[in-house]
Structure 1
């Protein structure tokens, strides 16, 4: 079975990226949406230059995270920081996703917010958005994240993992890779992978100390994922 792929999201610091150059990371994420991890297009461009110096056999792809962006914002970012993937975390429909894919020639990841237990009525409504056939052949991956009422994701909290098979069935049927995010860290990612076998895992706050990326936690997370 192929190793689960790893996405480290919310990078802001050049020195942290430099310390990751030998690690088997598959995707590096930069947050352009409102967040304490938010970066500017110019700042992301400086960070992207570090990816060119990656020393592991596989260089990670760059992912820009946005929530309900307009085309002018995406155009500005892409002019200053050439991303490989645009990840959409809001209520973007399939038409918008397809337009982004066509205009910028990038992969498009669509994130969906999954609620915790006790909010099934809201979560079921959210599920219907992504299970739509309109996304088939448009998005390059589906990403599950914990619902956050302010930022749409990045809450650092896990969602009800028992909901994963619902999305997995859809993603397998249409051959769309499934990523899981939301509250992952070195101590729980092994359980997630063993039980649900997602295509990829996405971590941000779970590899931080005092709000900053901690290279030792990054290494521990990657090691835990790749050994399974």
Structure 2
């Protein structure tokens, strides 16, 4: 069951690789941009991310997130020494214990991706949502439900069955976590999503690209329709 949303979600555009896309994100007054450090066609080096971050307007409130898959503390330290990220977004099988260790070491908010596998929207998702939210309570700041991608952990460009969203919303709220939704979002479906579900945040990547590159017009339309 869906409800009409009066809440404006936080917006994150992931997979930023160029100054043009970064500056447009800042102009659009969204909340977050993501730099992908895990193996991906959108992967950037710590040095590239640092150069982009330095290009942000001085008074921008845009926060930067680094996307990782199963990183070690050592790997994160190497990146953070070069690129001053605000948030760590984990897209692998990172346990609550590892997330706690990462949070303690780097004192940054953590967003934890939760893959939604298949089209199942049965009651099994009630139990899974409860289990996941309870496990990460007090360890991460947000859960990000995303279409399962066995190769990269995310960025597949495919949606999952949105009928499961309320299960994860309820569990996230119960345990004091924010809930972000990713997976196949684009200018054509974002209005439906935010109109039907009261989400804390949404995360888009390939849906605002053309031929693998961020499309300024699509970014603009996506943000306009998300509001």
TM above 0.5, yes or no, is: yes
**Unaligned 5+ runs, structure 2:** 1-5
Q: Deviations over 1:98-148 (max 9, x none)?
A: 1111111100011000023159799789657623x2311111011010001
8 Å contact from structure 1 (residues 22, 54) kept in 2: no
Q: Give the paired residue count.
A: 222
**Unaligned 5+ runs, structure 1:** none
RMSD over aligned CA atoms reads 2.1
What residue is the counterpart of 1:86 in the other structure? 88
C-alpha separation in 1, matches of 2:91 and 2:181: 13
What SS does the aligned partner of 1:164 have? helix
What residue is the counterpart of 2:197 in the other structure? 196
C-alpha separation in 1, matches of 2:149 and 2:225: 27
What residue is the counterpart of 2:147 in the other structure? 146
8 Å contact from structure 1 (residues 21, 54) kept in 2: no
What SS does the aligned partner of 1:178 have? strand
Per the TM alignment, residue 4 of structure 1 is displaced from its structure 2 partner at its CA by 1.0
C-alpha separation in 1, matches of 2:175 and 2:121: 27
* Runs of 4+ residues deviating >6 angstroms: 119-126
What residue is the counterpart of 1:4 in the other structure? 9
Per the TM alignment, residue 52 of structure 1 is displaced from its structure 2 partner at its CA by 4.1
TM-score for both structures, normalised by structure 1: 0.91
Return the structure number with greater relative CO, CA threshold 8 A, min gap 6: 2
Which of these residues, 50, 58, 63, is aligned with residue 45 of structure 1? 50
- Map 1:205-220 to 2 at 5 A: 205-220=206-221
